[in-house]
């Protein structure tokens, strides 16, 4: 990382010293006032011919942008309004702002992973590996950003979090440095990005130098996140809750020794659990948030730059969580001669994250569960004692990230040649130490180091030809090479010598100072060798691509485009290395063709695109066919890496059998859309109908158990996403003193499974049931119809009562619907119902201006989505969640918080062997639709005041905002957004807080 800061220091010195000198030495620029804006439509240039300046490049991009908009459905947004929201991640900024883009925020804890799905999920979300493979590509100034790789989950027993810092890598994008965000959904727009963009592309362009000789921008805000109001409970309340079940199902309403009533609840005089429940002040807190960004721009018509520094603090309202970001960005454009342009960008970030202190995550990290018979006490003093023991250790999470490019563009008449080298590198560190006082006499240490690296070389040649002023051709040939590497080193150990020696388990010295091998290499000193475990893994993915593209424009009426790609992936098998994908698109400008004299309609374009794009495999395992692996150590996790800590060759049984002849997966897409502008461009409507057919996807089929495998990885899973995107923006009122702009975006999406491997019609994988012809995001549940209050109510057929998996049902058990009428309740009586993904989602924005005052509101909504309230199921199923040594028995401090509506659930017998409060029934299926007022901001622009005073300040905009103002929902849990990718609310999502901020945006 020291090299990063050295580079930034060099760029800063270059910015402040070299470029102004370069600009001043330019005889054209000297003593002239030059104002221009790159990539915008207004400019004033004096005595500078366009062919010699950077302005020409911006004009050419504007021209291509116009043609491109007519062929694709990309929606571009200015970031002025987005930057008023105090978000720490890109996903939070984009949520609800683009039709078709659905953002999941499973927790309000700053820095945690958030998921994005563009036009539906492209595959069944059976694990977090599938979620990672479903994310859209994010492109920053032409740099396709690399994401986290899910291969680290292979050594984890629980996938609550990925090992390492698990910090959201898209928190490295400071919205104050961003000029525009564009979401590309159809192949007409995404095909040039190849297989990396098969899930859609989010294009981010940073602010270009503004062209003045010197300019300073300052953006800052400070605010507070407000702790939520909660209702706490104690042991007495919990006793009363459970007593209702004892009154009904035990003799005299009392429990016996056989029922093992928990000790922490049995003594009602114990004030530790039955006294004050005042823990919330130590867990929920009002916290400070702030952000500051300083930008410096300058240059001339032949060279310009922008340099910015920023720091953002995002605090959570629970468990002392937070994220600190330190960022620096540098952009430069130079045109030493009129035909050659050099551009470069570097974006560096440091992220320090304070993680939650939940017991579940900690026990999953240390790979064992201690005595869980007594949970954390709700008493403030006792909870403070626990936090004190926690503070004797540490959990440091650090992430360094750098992205950049260097580009050369040569314009030789109608030919343009460009070469770009892109880099994206991020590295993460997590160092943990838990003192023995926290772990019943056992100390624990863990170290993680991992990195993701992407290098890309991109070459492109274009030729523009215009014939007879009506035929406009654009020819393009491109070639790119992408090298991806993912690697981690991971180690942990138990029972250190004492709590004062917190050794770094990854530090080692393989050679002595004299060059000899170190005999004690990898031999720990503070921790016993037999209790020290190390893991390392590395995977790579290389992609070589070639493409050709032709655009044709006839008299600004008809537009045609065709792209043909050839992509070769190192993760594909040798016999299936290459994939060829065509895309065609067309547009018809009806305004110029048929409606020239129609004043009501200002623009009307119909467009369509169809094509195919390959889907590169995530893992290199698929490229190798049947294989062996070599690894060391044994930890009791899902993998068994070796024998007695000796490296051995083993089959990858946990991964599954991979055969030969595995083809590429691919996506066939059809998009039909229209764009219309009316009423003197005051009303704009864009609508798109799409079909995305995902073909030949891989699925683990339970198989080959006789050879030690659990599954066989086979291709043949097909599914479709069908839907409509709608974007409407209107200038409702346009007066000189008052204006009202409004915009609405909607997406309706439905999915369907169309084929399974081996020609199967249905398959069970874990708790999921996939059936051809049905949606892939449905729940597989028993239908609950009430309760049997007496044994006589249980149906009897041929003298046999209704049974659940062989157990006769009786009084106190649920009435589960016998779907097939065989007098047995089992998996064949489960039905597919509801959806975990929204059927309709979108946002509604309004911007009001009165004089120098502005008022902005943002609404966000999800409709047609259901949630499994697993937190409530665990609360009622207390018998099976009490005192066991596993994750289901962990009780966080939030166990002493009342959530949900207890009155809506029947009082089943919790001691029944059929487990009446199981989660795989529709009893806990709730309506997860909601409408949120995400933000309200009020601001005042002092620019006119300073102009009247002849003060040279271009802009001072002062604003205040309230975010996450309210939510309207029927969901009885804490927040309908706080659910996982599978639609299950475990109760572990921290609140998305209400935030109050005051900010200023200034340009000097």
Using a 10 angstrom Cβ sphere, with 0-12 exposed, 13-18 middle and 19 or more buried, the burial of residue 258 is exposed
Q: Is it the case that residue 1 has pLDDT exceeding 90?
A: no
Instruction: Give residue-wise pLDDT tens across range 763-783.
Output: 999 899 999 999 999 999 999
- Decide: 205 and 184 in contact? Cβ < 8 Å: no
Give residue 523's pLDDT.
61
505 pLDDT higher than 60: yes
- Euclidean distance between CA atoms 169 and 90, whole angstroms: 9
Mean pLDDT, all residues of the chain: 87
Helix (H, G, I), strand (E, B) or coil at 328: strand
pLDDT tens, 19-53?
333 333 333 333 322 222 222 333 332 333 444 55
Contacts for 919 with CB less than 8 Å, ≥ 6 apart: 868, 870, 873, 984
The 3-state DSSP class for residue 610 equals: strand
| CA dist., res. 533 & res. 492, Å (int) | 5
Check residue 371 and give its pLDDT: 85
Q: Which CA distances in Å does 600 have to 597, 675, 676? A: 9, 15, 11
Q: How confident is the model over 917-944, as a mean pLDDT?
A: 94
Averaged pLDDT, 838-863: 95
Beta bridge partners, 694, equal: 667, 719
Is residue 391's pLDDT more than 90? yes
How many residues belong to the chain?
Answer: 1004
Structural domain spans, the chain: 75-207+392-771, 783-829, 840-1004
pLDDT at 148 over 70: yes
Does residue 976 contact residue 928 with C-beta atoms inside 8 Å?
A: yes
Radius of gyration of the chain (CA): 31
pLDDT of residue 524: 60
Burial class of residue 105, CB neighbours in 10 A (0-12, 13-18, 19+)? buried
Do 583 and 603 form a contact (C-beta atoms < 8 A)? no
Model confidence at 521, in pLDDT bands (50, 70, 90)?
Answer: low
State the CB neighbour count (10 A cutoff) for residue 988.
19
* 366 in Cβ contact with 434 (< 8 Å): yes
Closest CA to 742 of 730, 727, 754, 750: 730
Percent of the chain with pLDDT strictly greater than 90: 69
Between residues 638 and 292, the one the model is more confident about: 292
DSSP string covering 481-511, please? Answer: EEEEEEEEEEEEEES-S-TT----TT---SB
Alpha-carbon distance 637 to 646, whole Å? 17
Neighbour-count burial for 869-903, b at 16+ CB within 10 Å, e otherwise: bbbbbbbbbbbebbeeeeeebbbbbbbbbebbeee
Please provide the distance, in angstroms rounded to a whole number, between the alpha carbons at the two ends of the chain.
Answer: 32
Of residues 511 and 978, the one with the higher pLDDT is 978
Rounded to whole angstroms, how far apart are CA atoms 48 and 32? 10
Pairing label, strands 201-206, 137-140: parallel
> For residues 39 and 734, which has the higher predicted lDDT (pLDDT)?
734
- The dihedral region occupied by 590, where left means phi > 0, alpha psi between -120 and 50, and beta the remainder, is alpha
Look at residue 910 and tell me whether its pLDDT is greater than 90: yes
Relative to beta strand 657-658, strand 711-734 is parallel
HSE-CB at 5 with a 13 A cutoff on CA atoms is: 5
pLDDT digits (tens, 9 = 90+) for 246-267: 999 988 767 665 456 888 998 8
Domain 75-207+392-771 has CATH 2.40.170: yes
8 Å CB contact between 476 and 462: yes
Q: pLDDT, tens digit, for every residue of 694-706?
A: 999 999 998 888 8
Task: Give the C-alpha distances (Å, rounded to integers) separating 459 from 305, 335, 659, 953.
Answer: 24, 19, 36, 42
Q: Residue 66 has what pLDDT? A: 52
Q: Record the tokens describing residue 919, joined without a space.
A: 């989660």
Given this model, what pLDDT does residue 929 score? 97
- Residue 625 has a pLDDT of 79
Q: H/E/C letters for each residue in 518-566?
A: CCCCCCCCCCCHHHEEEEEEEEEEEEEEEEEEEEEEECCCEEEEEEEEE
Q: Which residue has the tokens 């995404």?
A: 190
650 - beta bridge partners?
A: 629
Q: Report yes or no: 118 and 199 within 8 Å, Cβ to Cβ.
A: yes
Strand boundaries in 703-737, DSSP class E: 711-734
Neighbour tally for 661: CB within 10 Å: 9
d(CA 204, CA 911): 56
3-class state of residue 574 by DSSP: helix
Q: Is the pLDDT of residue 643 over 60?
A: no
Q: Tell which residue, 614, 620, 716, has the closest CA to residue 664.
A: 614
Report pLDDT digits (tens) over 793-824: 999 999 999 999 999 999 999 999 999 999 99
Chain CA centroid to CA 503, Å = 34
Q: Are 611 and 583 in contact (CB under 8 A)?
A: yes
Mean pLDDT confidence for 935-954: 81
**What is the pLDDT, as a whole number, of residue 623?**
84
pLDDT score, position 476: 96
Residue 199 has pLDDT above 50, yes or no: yes
600-622: burial string, b at 16+ Cβ within 10 Å, e else:
eebbbbebbbbbbbbbbbbbbbb
> Are 95 and 103 contacting, i.e. CB atoms less than 8 angstroms apart?
yes
Cα gap 264→266, rounded to integer Å: 6
Distance CA 105, CA 119 (A): 17
Q: Find which of 30-34, 151-155, 508-512 is predicted with most confidence, using mean pLDDT.
A: 151-155
d(CA 179, CA 477): 28
pLDDT per residue over 350-380, tens digit each?
Answer: 999 999 999 999 999 998 888 888 899 999 9
What pLDDT, on the 0 to 100 scale, is given for residue 678? Answer: 93
Q: Please, are residues 450 and 427 in contact by the beta-carbon 8 Å criterion?
A: yes
Token pair listed for 670? 């059809």
Residue 604 has phi, psi (to 5 degrees) of -150, 115
At residue 185, the pLDDT reads: 93
Say yes or no to pLDDT of 16 above 50. no
In this predicted structure, which of 201-210, 506-515, 637-646 has the lowest mean pLDDT?
A: 637-646
Whether the pLDDT of residue 661 is over 60: the answer is yes
| pLDDT value at residue 962 | 97
Q: Are 630 and 211 in contact (CB under 8 A)?
A: no
The number of beta carbons lying within 10 Å of the beta carbon of residue 934 is: 23
């Amino acid at each position: 990382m020291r090299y990063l800061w050295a580079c930034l220091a060099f760029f800063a010195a270059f910015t402040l010293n070299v470029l102004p000198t370069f600009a001043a030495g330019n005889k054209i620029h000297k003593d002239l006032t030059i104002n221009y804006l790159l990539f915008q439509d207004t400019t004033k240039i004096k005595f500078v011919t366009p062919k010699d300046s950077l302005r020409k490049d911006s004009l050419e991009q504007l021209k291509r942008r116009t043609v491109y908009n007519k062929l694709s459905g990309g929606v571009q947004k200015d970031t002025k309004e987005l930057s008023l929201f105090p978000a720490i991640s890109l996903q939070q900024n984009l949520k609800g702002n683009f039709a078709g883009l659905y953002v999941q925020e499973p927790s309000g804890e700053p820095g945690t992973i958030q998921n994005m799905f563009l036009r539906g999920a492209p595959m069944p979300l059976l694990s977090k590996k599938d979620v990672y493979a479903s994310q859209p590509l994010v492109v920053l100034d032409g740099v396709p950003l690399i994401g986290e790789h899910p291969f680290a989950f292979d050594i984890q027993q629980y996938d609550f979090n990925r090992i390492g810092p698990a910090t959201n890598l898209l928190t490295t994008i400071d919205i104050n440095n961003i000029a525009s965000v564009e979401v590309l959904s159809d192949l007409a727009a995404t095909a040039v990005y190849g297989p990396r963009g098969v899930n859609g592309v989010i294009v981010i362009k940073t602010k270009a130098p503004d062209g003045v000789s010197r300019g300073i921008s300052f953006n800052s805000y400070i605010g507070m996140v407000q702790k939520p109001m909660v209702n706490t409970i104690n042991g007495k309340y919990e006793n009363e809750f459970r007593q209702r079940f004892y009154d009904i199902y035990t003799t005299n309403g009392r429990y016996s020794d056989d029922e093992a009533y928990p000790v922490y609840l049995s003594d009602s005089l114990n004030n530790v659990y039955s006294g004050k429940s005042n823990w919330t002040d130590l867990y929920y807190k009002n916290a400070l948030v702030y952000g500051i960004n300083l930008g410096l721009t300058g240059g001339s018509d032949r060279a310009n730059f922008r340099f910015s520094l920023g720091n953002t603090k995002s605090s959570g309202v629970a468990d002392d969580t937070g994220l600190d970001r330190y960022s620096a960005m540098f952009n430069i454009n130079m045109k030493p001669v009129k035909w050659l342009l050099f551009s470069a960008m570097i974006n560096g970030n440091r992220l320090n994250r304070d993680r939650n202190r939940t017991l579940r995550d900690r026990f999953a990290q240390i790979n064992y569960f201690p005595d869980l018979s007594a949970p954390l006490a709700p008493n403030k003093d006792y909870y403070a004692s626990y936090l004190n023991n926690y503070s004797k250790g540490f959990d440091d999470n650090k992430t360094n990230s750098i992205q950049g490019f260097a580009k050369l563009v040569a314009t030789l008449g109608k030919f343009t040649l460009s070469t770009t080298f892109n880099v994206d590198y991020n590295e993460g560190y997590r160092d943990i130490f838990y003192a023995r006082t926290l772990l019943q006499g056992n100390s624990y240490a863990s170290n993680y180091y991992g990195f993701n690296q992407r290098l890309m070389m991109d070459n492109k040649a274009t030729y523009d030809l215009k014939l007879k002023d009506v035929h406009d051709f654009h020819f393009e040939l491109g070639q790119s090479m992408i090298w991806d590497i993912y690697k981690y080193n991971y180690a942990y150990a138990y029972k250190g010598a004492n709590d004062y020696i917190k050794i770094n388990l990854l530090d080692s010295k393989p050679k002595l100072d004299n060059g000899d091998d170190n005999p004690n290499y990898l031999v720990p000193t503070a921790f016993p060798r037999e209790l020290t475990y190390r893991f390392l893994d590395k995977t790579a993915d290389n992609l070589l691509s070639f493409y050709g593209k032709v655009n044709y424009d006839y008299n600004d009426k008809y537009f045609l485009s065709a792209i043909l790609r050839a992509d070769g992936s190192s993760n594909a098998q040798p016999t299936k290395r290459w994939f060829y994908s065509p895309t065609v698109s067309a547009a018809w400008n009806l305004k110029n063709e048929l409606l020239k004299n129609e004043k009501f309609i200002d623009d009307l374009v119909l467009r369509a695109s169809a094509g195919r794009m390959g889907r590169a495999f995530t893992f290199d395992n698929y490229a190798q066919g049947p294989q062996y692996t070599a690894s060391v150590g044994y930890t009791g996790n899902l993998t068994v890496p070796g024998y007695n800590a000796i490296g051995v060759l083993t089959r990858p049984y946990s991964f599954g059998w991979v055969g030969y002849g595995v083809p590429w997966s691919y996506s066939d897409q059809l998009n039909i859309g229209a764009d219309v502008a009316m009423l003197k461009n005051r009303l704009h409507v864009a609508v798109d109908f799409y079909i995305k057919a995902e073909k030949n996807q891989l699925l683990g089929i339970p198989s080959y158990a006789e050879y030690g495998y659990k599954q066989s990885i086979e291709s043949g899973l097909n599914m479709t996403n069908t839907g409509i995107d709608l974007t409407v923006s209107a200038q409702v009122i346009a007066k000189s003193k008052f204006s009202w702009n409004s915009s609405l975006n909607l997406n309706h999406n439905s999915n369907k499974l169309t084929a399974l491997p081996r020609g199967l019609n249905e398959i069970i994988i874990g708790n999921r049931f996939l059936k051809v012809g049905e949606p892939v995001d449905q729940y597989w549940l028993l239908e609950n119809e009430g309760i049997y209050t007496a044994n006589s109510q249980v149906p009897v057929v041929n003298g046999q009562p209704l049974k659940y998996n062989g157990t006769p049902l009786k009084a106190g058990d649920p009435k589960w619907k016998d779907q097939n009428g065989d007098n047995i309740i089992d998996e064949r009586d489960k039905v597919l119902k509801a959806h975990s993904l929204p059927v309709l989602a979108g946002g509604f924005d309004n911007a009001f201006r009165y004089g120098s005052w502005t008022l902005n509101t943002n609404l966000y909504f999800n409709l047609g989505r259901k949630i499994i309230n697993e937190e409530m199921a665990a609360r009622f199923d207390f018998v099976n969640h009490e005192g066991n040594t596993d994750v289901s028995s962990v009780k966080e401090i939030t166990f002493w918080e009342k959530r949900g509506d207890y009155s809506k659930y029947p009082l089943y017998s919790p001691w029944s062997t059929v487990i009446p409060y199981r989660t795989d029934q529709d009893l806990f299926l709730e309506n997860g639709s909601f409408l949120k007022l995400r933000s309200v901001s009020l601001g005042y622009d002092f620019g006119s005041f300073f102009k009247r005073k002849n003060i040279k300040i271009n802009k001072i905009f002062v604003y205040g905002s309230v975010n996450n103002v309210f939510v309207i929902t029927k969901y009885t849990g804490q927040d309908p957004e706080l659910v996982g990718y599978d639609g299950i609310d475990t109760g572990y999502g921290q609140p998305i807080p209400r935030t109050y901020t005051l900010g200023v945006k200034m340009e000097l």
